[in-house]
A and B are shown apart, each in its own frame.
Chain A
Amino acid sequence: AQTVTQSQPEMSVQEAETVTLSCTYDTSENNYYLFWYKQPPSRQMILVIRQEAYKQQNATENRFSVNFQKAAKSFSLKISDSQLGDTAMYFCAFMKPYNAGNNRKLIWGLGTSLAVNP
């Protein structure tokens, strides 16, 4: 069974600095999808970034980038130039490939609570 582990329950960073959130996962699949979702105090879950396992290039979205290490089954999120609005719970998630059919559910980590301090 797939599992997703986020080993940092809480983190903090100063505004304008860079922070990295870690995520590891366990799977026997070769192709799959990885996600980082953000849940601010307002509670709406928002997709931050998505990575397809068959792509070697790390995904980036503005100040957000990932370090995807397939062999190590690691998928860390780097936030550059942290802003106060980045304060949120960050969840790492895994999904099986298309050929898994109706069994394609998101497997969630426990989350990392990130506080950006002024």
Chain B
Amino acid sequence: EADIYQTPRYLVIGTGKKITLECSQTMGHDKMYWYQQDPGMELHLIHYSYGVNSTEKGDLSSESTVSRIRTEHFPLTLESARPSHTSQYLCASSEYWADTQYFGPGTRLTVL
């Protein structure tokens, strides 16, 4: 069982609010990822990091931003939430040279 945590699990928020989705892992993994997934659909990579102070945009354009100040922590921020941001956000991590990613339980975000 992978030790990767996401909070909150569910969030309902109004348009224009600033939100931060938290992701933490206790495995010491260098690589971390954020995926966006609509219900019943495939995963889209929106951000990734290969270590502290390293962040890259993924394949799907996103208005969110991320930071990686500590190895174990990879928060995702939306400065001004909109209904189009309604989705599930999955965080994952892996060792630097490994290929297996371990996933958190996800945050289901609803923007009204």
- Most central of B50, B59, B106 by chain A CB within 10 Å: B106
A96-118: CB near B (< 8 Å → 1, else 0) gives 00100010111011110100000
Contact A108 to B43, CB < 8 A, known contacts A44-B106, A45-B90, A102-B50:
yes
A45, A46, A105, A111: the one within 8 Å of B41 (CB): A111
Chain B residues positioned under 8 Å from A33 (CB to CB): 99
Contact size class for A?
20 to 34
- B contacts with A: majority SS: loop
Chain B residues positioned under 8 Å from A113 (CB to CB): 40
B58, B103, B106: the one within 8 Å of A46 (CB): B103
Q: Would A43 and B106 count as touching, CB distance under 8 A? A: yes
Which residues B46-75 have CB closer than 8 A to chain A?
48, 50, 56, 58-59
Report the separation of the CA atoms of residues A106 and B33 in the bound assembly, to the nearest whole angstrom.
10
- Count: A-B pairs, CB below 8 Å: 47
Asked if B100 is at the interface (CB within 8 A of a chain A CB), the reply is yes
Chain A residues positioned under 8 Å from B101 (CB to CB): 47, 106
Taking the closest CB of chain A, its distance from the CB of B68, in whole angstroms, is 14
Q: Would A89 and B40 count as touching, CB distance under 8 A? A: yes
Taking the closest CB of chain B, its distance from the CB of A53, in whole angstroms, is 11
Chain A residues positioned under 8 Å from B108 (CB to CB): 43
Taking the closest CB of chain A, its distance from the CB of B47, in whole angstroms, is 12
- Most central of A45, A102, A111 by chain B CB within 10 Å: A45
Residues of B within 8 A of A (CB): 40-43, 45, 48, 50, 56, 58-59, 88, 90, 92, 97, 99-106, 108
